[in-house]
Amino acid sequence: MSVDLSVNIGSLKLKNPILLASGTVGYGNEISEFVDLSKIGGIVTKSISLKPRKGNPPQRIVETSSGMLNAIGLANVGLELFIKEKIPFLKNLGSTLICNIAASSIEEYVECVDILDKEETIKAFEINVSCPNVKEGGLIFGNDVKAVAKITEKVRGKTSKPIIIKLSPNNSNIVDYAKIAKQEGADAVSAINTLVGTSFDIYSKKPKIKNITGGLSGPAIKPVALAKVLEISKEVDIPIIGIGGIMNWKDAVEFMIVGASAFQIGTANFINPKASMEILDGIKKYCQENTISKISDIIRTRKI
Amino acid sequence: MSVDLSVNIGSLKLKNPILLASGTVGYGNEISEFVDLSKIGGIVTKSISLKPRKGNPPQRIVETSSGMLNAIGLANVGLELFIKEKIPFLKNLGSTLICNIAASSIEEYVECVDILDKEETIKAFEINVSCPNVKEGGLIFGNDVKAVAKITEKVRGKTSKPIIIKLSPNNSNIVDYAKIAKQEGADAVSAINTLVGTSFDIYSKKPKIKNITGGLSGPAIKPVALAKVLEISKEVDIPIIGIGGIMNWKDAVEFMIVGASAFQIGTANFINPKASMEILDGIKKYCQENTISKISDIIRTRKI
Amino acid sequence: MLIKDVFVQSNQKIAENTFLLKVNAEEYIPYVKPGQFFNIKVNNNSYPLLRRPFSISDVEGDSILFMYKVVGEGTRILANKVVGDQINILGPLGNQFSINESSNHVILIGGGIGIAPFPYLIKQLPNSVKYSVLFGVRTEKEVHSYGLKNILYSSDDGTVGIKGNTIELLDIHLKQIAEKDVKIFACGPNPMLKALQEYTNNKNIECEVSMESAMACGFGICQGCPIENKDNNYKLICKDGPVFNIRDIMI
Amino acid sequence: MLIKDVFVQSNQKIAENTFLLKVNAEEYIPYVKPGQFFNIKVNNNSYPLLRRPFSISDVEGDSILFMYKVVGEGTRILANKVVGDQINILGPLGNQFSINESSNHVILIGGGIGIAPFPYLIKQLPNSVKYSVLFGVRTEKEVHSYGLKNILYSSDDGTVGIKGNTIELLDIHLKQIAEKDVKIFACGPNPMLKALQEYTNNKNIECEVSMESAMACGFGICQGCPIENKDNNYKLICKDGPVFNIRDIMI
Ligand SMILES: Cc1cc2nc3c(=O)[nH]c(=O)nc-3n(C[C@H](O)[C@H](O)[C@H](O)COP(=O)(O)OP(=O)(O)OC[C@H]3O[C@@H](n4cnc5c(N)ncnc54)[C@H](O)[C@@H]3O)c2cc1C
Ligand SMILES: Cc1cc2nc3c(=O)[nH]c(=O)nc-3n(C[C@H](O)[C@H](O)[C@H](O)COP(=O)(O)OP(=O)(O)OC[C@H]3O[C@@H](n4cnc5c(N)ncnc54)[C@H](O)[C@@H]3O)c2cc1C
Ligand SMILES: Cc1cc2nc3c(=O)[nH]c(=O)nc-3n(C[C@H](O)[C@H](O)[C@H](O)COP(=O)(O)O)c2cc1C
Ligand SMILES: Cc1cc2nc3c(=O)[nH]c(=O)nc-3n(C[C@H](O)[C@H](O)[C@H](O)COP(=O)(O)O)c2cc1C
Ligand code: FES
Ligand code: FES
């Protein structure tokens, strides 16, 4: 049985619902040794800022129970190098490119989108308003409904490409952010970014991560991510990209049933760089075995 | 070397910083087969409400990666039976009793405290404003600063026993809640209650928990709990009782170093009912090996 | 109730996906009763986090035997245990099947792995009591006869015994034995027990069932395993059960 | 870079808490270079979640050997592997020690388990090159000589070799051999490498070091393993290293 795996995120048509999450595959160079990037739905680039960012000093990561904390600090090559070197590479591979942008001011978001909008290879923007690991440009926006409204509105003014607002789970009202994003013209929201967490060494009494706190990702957060997707899906009529702890095709299908139109693979890439290809096989088989001819038919089929 | 394990939570003096968390040991009857309740710091009872509560229909729990979701729905025997049967039992065992109260209105909180204040065996109240699993009486308060202020103020008016406000992690500003609790006269805060999460069956497409969402507990949430304790400890001068994913003495010590004056063992009781006794041994040894004569000396000794 | 590390003495496959695990558990032996269960930690780390409940399937000398079916991560780990491995068991937990001499004929109905508690129950039946075992499976591969006698089978695909379910088998069997004073003990999937409830209520037959539920603690502290009784109150399967009179509960 | 399940061929204790793991890894053999490492999944579940990085310690026929010290959960699991068990390895990763014929004398300095990469490096040294191994341990129990020759020891407690650290040992040794054209390869705890950096900078000796860092991916996608270079930029230990010229980095 042939299965139609394509899904739509607003006007963005994806071959299949599998995206590689921002910050977990760089700009595709290394992961392309394991994954045929032309075969999966798309790649979301590491958050790009106007100028290159060095990122946080080490130690940047630490393992936790079924999870990991990271405080990379949005280390990235900056807009210029991204355009010159990274975009052509991804274009050659034939992958669908979603560009994730992080900034320390509303103006910087706007300027980035303005410049990048010309790049044909970029098929959509994911606006990161939810990075917990930098003072400016992250959670400071993600936990402020008005800031998210403003950013969405301004960015919308600069591009007609699909805009995805990446939401923070570190608040009690993710629905308000999704609503405002929709209202200000976003095409979709992605949920979730990492949860704020920390870990200390009981002998040195120092935080294991130099930045003190980091963002928690991995299977540990899957129940929280699913609950956030469910919450948004119940209250707001906007496509949702589900993220958080997806390790295999079953997790992915769970997100779609709960309400996600597509999903992103993050931490799993570190442990099994082929995870996205295996998930592609897995969801295809799931559809075949359950005689689902279009995967988009399972979106939001939850029974509650 | 003899170690002084006692700690103070406001005017509440505990033999040691080990408390059994509300909802994870009922009223002590069963766990007393494994734990000498007179030896540990104290027991926090299952949330009590004015009238008995039947709780949510099954399925109430489900396992997740390094965690579990529960939606018990504050099933409890109600105030009357609690006073008649449960208190005498705990009194006989010589355990320090902290009574956790949940209610669906501010008036109910006040009435409960008013009635229970007369019970000499109760050494402190923990006010649960953060249960994610009931419509009224839980998160509806826990994520509303004004409600928490009001509850604390009113309850304060009814008792001179220590009041501990149990905080929700499901918001972006736990510090505001801790501040208001302190301001309105609370003696301490406990952090954290469970994180909202969910889990679905991909074949039946139904939520695995009848209540749809549940509260996530266990090692998966430890990094989040620690970050919340750290946040409060940095901003508010109030004793903190750390809770979340403590499985062994190392986890417990980590919480104290980060900022907790005492800690509660929750999910660990289900897996190893003797966990609290083992933690008692563990922290004693840790103090001895590191020549710490008073465990209270390690509270908030984080180096950041 | 005791928590102890015990050693695996054997762990044998007895049917498709079905294993028999034998552990040395001397200290428990005086206390274990048919129908009770243990909550078992299959690993010594947090993956999976929770214990897994398993009925006492049999007792042999100083050893307890568990019969289990591999269905997920926990039972898969259990199936990989070899002689000498340690597991941590908490129990015995719950109540027991109430055996008495008054019944003329006892019928044990096991749906799939629901057969697990019966070898030990059979051992404890008074000699005077006649019994038969009705063993319902999906297909022949699931069949074994560990600790069982007088077995009648039903299977979904007809590969063994009658083609049909255990209730149909029971109906035929009751006619065959033509006994008046029958008592049924049953364990199996909820749909089977539900059908059994209707059947035994209609025919007014004594019946006790062992119920299942997701469990965190297994001994009454988490409130995770409620079952509604006929008065619309919740009982705990782990503490008030797992064995209930079929008349007393809502299945 | 390949991901493969490989079989454990042996897993032997060679010193206190120190093991040698041999796996069949035919397909990797043509590509592995001394100084490179593999990122190893020690289990097939999420506990622990991440892979663990280990240097290639030796190559024997179609097999790769890893020398490791048990320090935590992951290495404890590894130490329990028996012949025939599967593990999943990702590699080879990182750059390599740069060997050339020009040096008269190569000195390999290993602090504790930092000795791990040297057996394979020694095999790849041109025959013309003389070498010595300086092996620093805390105490005699940590000593072994797997794949090593010309070993000089230092120990913290004086139970083997000189009582002192590897830098003191190096200082003595350099005087003894009185060679001009020396090149050092070193691996060990950061404080040792920091002291070595000062020493080799002062004496202007060529030195390459293999660095460690917590790692999530091991191949450049997580940005979790930065090390500052002398221009105050971050390099990735997993991709730009783990081997660095000691002059180029801030330790
Ligand atoms: C009182 C009692 C006695 C039991 N006796 C036996 C027995 O003798 N032999 C046997 O094979 N099985 C028995 N079961 C069922 C057994 O506990 C489950 O099959 C087992 O927990 C599955 O674990 P898993 O990790 O392999 O499956 P998973 O599906 O991976 O488990 C996920 C979670 O669901 C729970 N779970 C899954 N299936 C069940 C179930 N049927 N009942 C309760 N919880 C479940 C697990 O405990 C775990 O928390 C009994 C259950 C109960 C409550
Ligand atoms: C490039 C490289 C090569 C290495 N080669 C070897 C080798 O050949 N032999 C050997 O014994 N060890 C080697 N190590 C160190 C080895 O990776 C750690 O000892 C191991 O990861 C510890 O895992 P654990 O689960 O036992 O310890 P835990 O302390 O439980 O691990 C917790 C976390 O910290 C990380 N971690 C702990 N110690 C280290 C460390 N020293 N370096 C990096 N991450 C660490 C773990 O990977 C894990 O993510 C190497 C490290 C690197 C980076
Ligand atoms: C090491 C690391 C770096 C990340 N960097 C970014 C980033 O630059 N921008 C962003 O929007 N999200 C970033 N994330 C968050 C992920 O995209 C994803 O939202 C999160 O990890 C949850 O998914 P997971 O559990 O599948 O990893 C990062 C996550 C990790 C683990
Ligand atoms: C089954 C279960 C029931 C709980 N019931 C209550 C409750 O009645 N009142 C309350 O304040 N907290 C309740 N909690 C929350 C715990 O007290 C604790 O805050 C939480 O589980 C986190 O700690 P842990 O990770 O150690 O379990 C419950 C938790 C669990 C797992
Ligand atoms: S399983 Fe915990 S109360 Fe029954
Ligand atoms: S470990 Fe991931 S980039 Fe180096």
pLDDT, average across residues A278-291? 96
| pLDDT reported for residue A67 | 98
Measured CA to CA in angstroms, residue B152 lies from B131, B139, B176 at distances of 16, 15, 14
The answer to whether residue A54 neighbours chain B at the CB level (below 8 Å) is no
Note the pLDDT tens digit of each residue in A196-250.
Answer: 999 999 999 999 999 999 999 999 999 999 999 999 999 999 999 999 999 999 9
Residue D164 within a domain: yes
User: Is residue D109 domain-shared with residue D62, that is, in the same domain?
Assistant: no
B69 neighbors B209 (Cβ within 8 angstroms): yes
Backbone angles phi, psi at A49, to 5 degrees: -120, 170
Helix (H) or strand (E) holding D88: strand D86-93
Q: What is the pLDDT of residue B288?
A: 95
Cβ < 6 A, ligand 2 pocket: A 63; D 37, 48, 50, 52-55, 57, 66-69, 71-75, 113, 116, 212-215, 242
Decide which of D47, D62, D93 is a domain's last residue.
Answer: D93
Its domain, for residue C7, covers 2-93
**Is C20 a domain residue?**
yes
The token duo for B117 is 């204040």
- How confident is the model over B36-55, as a mean pLDDT? 94
Residue B153 has pLDDT above 80, yes or no: yes
Output the CA B299–ligand 2 centroid distance in Å: 30
Q: Name residues of chain C where pLDDT drops below 70.
A: none
Residue C46 inside a domain? The answer is yes
Q: How far is the CA of B65 from the centre of ligand 3 (A)?
A: 18
A125 neighbors A158 (Cβ within 8 angstroms): no
Does residue C98 fall inside a structural domain? no
* Cα–Cα distance for residue pair A266/C196, rounded to 1 Å: 48
pLDDT at A287 over 80: yes
For chain B, give the mean pLDDT.
Answer: 93
Condensed to tens digits (0 to 9), the pLDDT of residues D38-56 reads 999 999 888 899 999 999 9
Q: Could you tell me if residue D30 is inside a domain?
A: yes
* Same domain, yes or no: C206 and C122: yes
- Side-chain-side CA neighbours of B128 within 13 Å: the count stands at 28
Topology of B7-55+73-196+217-298 in CATH? TIM Barrel (3.20.20)
Do residues C47 and C173 touch, judged by C-beta distance below 8 A? no
Residue at C224 is within a domain: no
> Which sequence positions of A are flagged as catalytic?
131
Say how far apart CA C191 and CA B204 lie, in whole Å. Answer: 15
What pLDDT, in 10s, does the model give residues C41-73?
999 888 899 999 999 999 999 999 999 999 999
Nearest CA-CA distance, residue D20 and chain A, Å = 23
Q: Please state the rounded mean pLDDT for residues D94-117.
A: 92
Of the residues B194, B255, B269, which should be mutated to test ligand 4's pocket, given the most ligand atoms within 8 Å of the CB? B194
Asked if the Cβ–Cβ distance from A30 to D221 is below 8 Å, we say yes
Report whether pLDDT(A144) > 70: yes
pLDDT tens track for D205-242: 999 999 999 999 999 999 999 999 999 999 999 999 99
Domain C-terminal end among D67, D93, D119: D93
Percent over 70 (pLDDT), chain A: 96
Q: What is the DSSP string of chain B?
A: ---B--EEETTEEESSSEEEPTTSSTTSTTGGGTS-TTTSSEEEPSPB-SS-B--PPSP-EEEETTEEEE-----B-HHHHIIIIIHHHHHHHT--EEEEE--SSHHHHHHHHHHHTT-TTEEEEEEE---TTSSSSSHHHHT-HHHHHHHHHHHHTT--S-EEEEPPSSSS-HHHHHHHHHHTT-SEEEE--PEEEE-B-TTT-SBSSTTSEEEEESGGGHHHHHHHHHHHHHH--S-EEEESS--SHHHHHHHHHHT-SEEEE-THHHH-TTHHHHHHHHHHHHHHHTT-SBGGGGTT----
C32 lines ligand 5 (CB under 6 A): no
Beta strand C2-15 pairing with C86-93: antiparallel
Q: How many domains does chain C have?
A: 2
ipTM: 0.96
B287: pLDDT strictly greater than 90: yes
- B60: nearest CB among C3, C51, C226: C226
At residue B243, φ and ψ (nearest 5 deg) are -145, 140
| Range B234-247 average pLDDT | 98
CA distances from B142 to B45, B169, B191, C222 (A): 19, 9, 12, 22
When scoring B270, B274, B277 by the number of chain C Cβ atoms within 10 A, the one with the most, hence best to mutate, is B270
Residue in B250, B257, B266 with CA at minimum distance from that of residue B229: B257
pLDDT, averaged across chain A: 94
Question: Which chain C positions have a beta carbon within 8 Å of B65's beta carbon?
Answer: 47
pLDDT at residue B50 above 60? yes
Reading the block at residue C236, the tokens are: 């705990």
- Looking at residue D127, its pLDDT comes to 86
C62 shares a domain with C22 = yes
End-to-end CA distance of chain C: 28
Is C139 domain-assigned? yes
Tell me which chain D residue has its CA closest to the CA of residue C45.
D47
Q: How many beta-carbon pairs under 8 angstroms link A with C?
A: 3
CB contacts, 8 Å: A286 with chain B = 202
User: Which ranges in chain D belong to alpha helices (H)?
Assistant: 73-79, 118-124, 166-177, 190-203
Please give the pLDDT value at position A132. 61
pLDDT at D107 over 90: yes
Q: Which residue of B63, B69, B176, B200 is the best one to mutate when testing the A interface, meaning the one whose CB has the most A CBs within 10 A?
A: B200
Closest CA to A82 of A105, A110, A102: A102
Tell me if D16 is assigned to some domain. yes
Does the pLDDT at position D3 exceed 60? Answer: yes
Cis status, amide bond into D92, omega within 30 of 0? yes
Report which of residues A213 and B106 the model is more confident about: A213
Q: How far is D46 from chain B (nearest CA, A)?
A: 8
CATH number at residue D111: 3.40.50.80
Whether residue C215 has its Cβ less than 6 Å from ligand 5: yes
**What region, left, alpha or beta, does residue B139 occupy, with left being phi > 0 and alpha being psi -120 to 50 degrees?**
alpha
Report the pLDDT value the prediction gives residue C45, as an integer from 0 to 100. 87
pLDDT value for B291 = 94
Query: For residue A140, is pLDDT > 90?
Result: no
pLDDT band with cut points at 50, 70 and 90 for residue B137: very low
E strand intervals along C34-181: 37-41, 52-55, 58-60, 63-69, 86-93, 105-111, 130-137, 151-155, 162-163
With an 8 Å Cβ cutoff, the interface of chain B facing chain D consists of: 65-66
**Average pLDDT over all residues of chain D:** 95
Residue of A70, A205, A255 to mutate, interface with B, max B Cβ within 10 Å = A205
CATH number of domain containing C38 = 2.40.30.10
